[in-house]
Amino acid sequence: MRKLPRSSFSTRSTRRRGFSPLVLVGVLVTVVIALAVGGVVFLLPRLGSHAAGAANADCTLIVPAHPLSATGLATPYQLMAANPDNGPCNEANPNQSAFVQGAVIDKATGTISVYDPLVIDKGTNPAAAPVMPKLTATSVVGLWFGFNGNNLTLRGTRGSLQEGNCVNGVNGSIFGQFPYCNAPAFFRAANQTIGAGNLVPPPIGMAKDGQPCPTVRDFGVVDQDQSDNVTTSYLVTANGQTAQATAANMNALQSQQTLTNASDNRLLAIALDGALGCTPWMAPDLADPGKMTTALPLDELQAAAHQANPVALVPARDPMVLNNNNRDLNKTNA
């Protein structure tokens, strides 16, 4: 059995989840995902009213109009409280931070790129304007969300949830931390290009311990709801404004720190792969020219192509897929 790093800190809420031995793995190493990137440790912000504490754990994210277009991707998502009576939601508070990850596959070439839209507080401005990505007529965009609180609800702008094919559970029962938009269409396009030989997921490789490198479908690392949350990170300034984590913004913004999502995919692609000498599948970052970056859909496609049996899937009694505490096959499939 692999020996994983120990930790006593986790930004992921455990209030709505029962204990599972598999969850223990995530609890032990979440600090690595939340705070370590490339061996550099970032201190999360403590910014007056944004400081971590007894925060409202249920927030709403406003999805901009035309979310699958270049303009929609470059329009900041806005975070607000689901119920203002429970207190505000602030993106700079690491217990309330929401994250968006986008991936673009060009069906004509089979290439995948990554673009992470920005999240700001409702009614505020970003610390730096998001970069406008370049899409083609044959681009298919998928979006995935992460949240460091308990329940993240999506709210549309001029029909954006319908236009973006956004899913956050079924029949009024949300998943919790992890909605998505247009993901089935993205994966269909990816699988078609893989089948045509125009896209080849890289092999998972061999780790330093002599075992195959882990994937998001590996029982050695997954918890009961593997692959929820994303690898996105943002910059946050001293006044609580956020910006995309690009080289240009890192150079231009003063006293910025890094916000990260306590996610299974970040655990895999950053922490475990780094510790085990494995290389995650990476793709060009459309917001940061010349940079390669990780992404949830890359992890999923690689695991689907190369994870050997037994393959870990979401169990029917995972709290994220229960509907009023009852099993729901439609929600599990979703």
Backbone angles phi, psi at 183, to 5 degrees: -65, -45
**232 has pLDDT over 80:** yes
For the segment 135-145, the average pLDDT, to the nearest whole number, is: 98
Q: What is the mean pLDDT of the chain?
A: 86
118-145 as b/e: b if 16+ CB within 10 A: bbbbbebebbbebbebebeeebbbbbbb
Determine the pLDDT at residue 6.
32
Q: Check pLDDT > 50 for residue 29.
A: no
Q: What is the mean pLDDT of residues 62-88?
A: 97
DSSP 167: E
pLDDT tens digits, 32-59: 333 333 333 333 333 333 344 478 999 9
Between 25 and 109, the higher pLDDT residue: 109
Q: What is the pLDDT of residue 319?
A: 87
Task: Yes or no: say if 230 and 144 are a contact pair by the CB < 8 Å rule.
Answer: yes
* Position 143, amino acid: L
CA–CA dist 182, 108 (Å, integer): 19
- Dmax over Cα atoms in the chain, in whole Å? 54
pLDDT band at 2 (very low <50, low <70, confident <90, very high): low
In Å, what is the CA distance from 288 to each residue of 23, 26, 251?
34, 30, 13
